[in-house]
Amino acid sequence: MPIDLRSDTVTTPTEEMRNAMRDAVVGDDVYGDDPTINELERLAASMVEKEAALFVTSGTQGNQVAVLTHTHRGDEIIAEATSHIVHHETAGLAVIGGVQPRTIQGVNGQMPIDEIVAAIREPDVHNPRTGLICLENTHGDSGGRILPLNYMKDVYEISRAHHLPIHLDGARLFNAAVGLGVQPKEITAYTDSVQFCLSKGLSAPMGSILAGSKEFIDQARKWRKMLGGGTRQAGVVGAAGIVALNDMVSRLPEDHRHAKQLAEGLAQIDGIEINAIEVESNILFFSVAPVGLSSTEFIERLKSYDILANTYGSSQIRFVTHREIETEDIERTIACVKEICANERTHV
Ligand code: TLP
């Protein structure tokens, strides 16, 4: 088995999940008849203290359904420049949502408050209407950085003052909660809707949750149907989602510890650039520029040691820790990176 650090999405279902999937009592969820999905949606809504929740097939679908539900065609939405919804959802905002992203470069995933305020449109005939503010916590492309509660609150206050909804892409909401040492509902209190993934660190094979007010979820259910996300005996996979929410959150601190250990080990290696202090959850980025290899060349070298990773730009590599990464894997990865760097230096 390779050491797969490409993403926490690679986690496979646990034995308990497989058993729950086999035994799941199911029905046709488009008719609202699937007891397992109904239970999952009730549990999920209560964890983030929202009135209702909707099972969606993926995080991307959850985010796109949220945008469709909150906004009108031709609206502008304010989002961080490198956020997943802008950067990694194949221009779904434009193609599916019919909205225009108004991006703001964040610092550690946080858009400066004054820039958010300045980006909200005046009602002028030339202007699109600002329809939504999107936040992402944890923020993936900044290296899994966690938006603190006081920042969430500040953005929320602006949104109330301007009568704008807030959608949170909380694909890794539970990582953020663990990192902050709070309950997820303390984060989602500052949002109107939230999407969180069951299929990342929580290890379910697929699915995400979109949660919000009852009225919002009633509307979202129709958009999900339009996007082809109305599935039938969905409880077969939803059952794994229930196990994910009940049993898998408490082990996330281990992933954070492993990411920190990995970052601290990498920081000691001549040829690697990383600031281990900035690693707050289960994602870390590091640069291989000093060793004189491109990120693509570097991950090819890693592959020869049976270690998988993703590149990010020409010099950065991303590692993501998860349930199937053990402490020995962390140690081995550090040793292999060290060897790759040492070999490179002897060749030049
Ligand atoms: N992230 C994936 C890739 O798409 C980049 C990963 O490996 O990290 N929001 C955030 C913040 C995400 O990181 C992701 C997936 C999603 C949404 C989309 O979730 P899925 O993959 O379920 O559509």
Q: Taking residues 151-179, what's their average pLDDT? A: 98
Does the C-beta of 9 come closer than 6 Å to ligand 1?
yes
Strands in the chain per DSSP E: 3-4, 52-56, 76-80, 100-104, 130-136, 166-169, 193-197, 208-212, 283-287, 307-308, 310-312, 316-320
> Distance from the CA of 205 to the center of ligand 1, in angstroms?
14
Q: Is residue 34 part of a domain?
A: yes
Q: Taking residues 86-107, what's their average pLDDT? A: 98
Residue 110: which pLDDT band, with cuts at 50, 70 and 90?
A: very high
Q: What is the dihedral of CA 105, 108, 114, 120, to 10 degrees?
A: 50
Same-domain pairing of 153 and 40: yes
Among 195, 230, 249, the domain boundary falls at 249
Same-domain pairing of 45 and 152: yes
Q: Among the atoms of ligand 1, which is closest to the Cα of residue 7?
A: 7
Same-domain pairing of 211 and 271: no
Same-domain pairing of 213 and 281: no
Nearest-CA neighbor of 221 among 35, 54, 34?
Answer: 54
Q: Is residue 1 part of a domain?
A: no
Nearest-CA neighbor of 4 among 244, 254, 318?
Answer: 318
> Distance from the CA of 58 to the center of ligand 1, in angstroms?
9
Does the C-beta of 7 come closer than 6 Å to ligand 1?
yes
Does the C-beta of 103 come closer than 6 Å to ligand 1?
no
Nearest-CA neighbor of 291 among 332, 344, 247?
Answer: 344
Same-domain pairing of 276 and 204: no
Q: Is residue 199 part of a domain?
A: yes
Does the C-beta of 208 come closer than 6 Å to ligand 1?
yes
What pLDDT sits at residue 345?
77
Name the strands in the sheet holding 283-287, side by side, starting at the edge strand that comes first in the sequence.
283-287, 316-320, 310-312
Nearest-CA neighbor of 316 among 266, 281, 277, 268?
Answer: 266
Assess whether pLDDT exceeds 60 at residue 71: yes
Same-domain pairing of 261 and 332: yes
What pLDDT sits at residue 67?
98
Does the C-beta of 8 come closer than 6 Å to ligand 1?
no
What pLDDT sits at residue 347?
64
Among 223, 249, 275, the domain boundary falls at 249
Q: Are strands 166-169 and 130-136 parallel, antiparallel or unpaired?
A: parallel
**Residue-wise pLDDT tens digits, 221-247:** 999 999 999 999 999 999 999 999 999
**Residue-wise pLDDT tens digits, 243-293:** 999 999 999 999 999 999 999 999 999 999 999 999 999 999 999 999 999
Residue nearest to atom 1 of ligand 1 (CA): 84
Assess whether pLDDT exceeds 80 at residue 188: yes
Same-domain pairing of 221 and 314: no
* CATH code at position 197: 3.40.640.10
Same-domain pairing of 178 and 325: no
**Which strand (E) or helix (H) includes residue 118?**
helix 113-119
**Residue-wise pLDDT tens digits, 191-213:** 999 999 999 999 999 999 999 99
Q: Taking residues 168-191, what's their average pLDDT? A: 98
> Distance from the CA of 321 to the center of ligand 1, in angstroms?
14
Same-domain pairing of 77 and 185: yes
Q: Is residue 278 part of a domain?
A: yes
Same-domain pairing of 338 and 193: no
Dist CA 292 CA 97 (whole Å): 42
Does the C-beta of 251 come closer than 6 Å to ligand 1?
no
Domain region containing 222: 13-249
What pLDDT sits at residue 348?
57
Assess whether pLDDT exceeds 90 at residue 52: yes
> Distance from the CA of 201 to the center of ligand 1, in angstroms?
11
Domain count for the chain: 2
Q: How many beta carbons lie within 10 A of that of residue 274, not counting itself?
A: 23
Dist CA 335 CA 138 (whole Å): 28
Same-domain pairing of 210 and 282: no
Q: Among the atoms of ligand 1, which is closest to the Cα of residue 88?
A: 4
Q: Taking residues 129-142, what's their average pLDDT? A: 98
Same-domain pairing of 131 and 22: yes
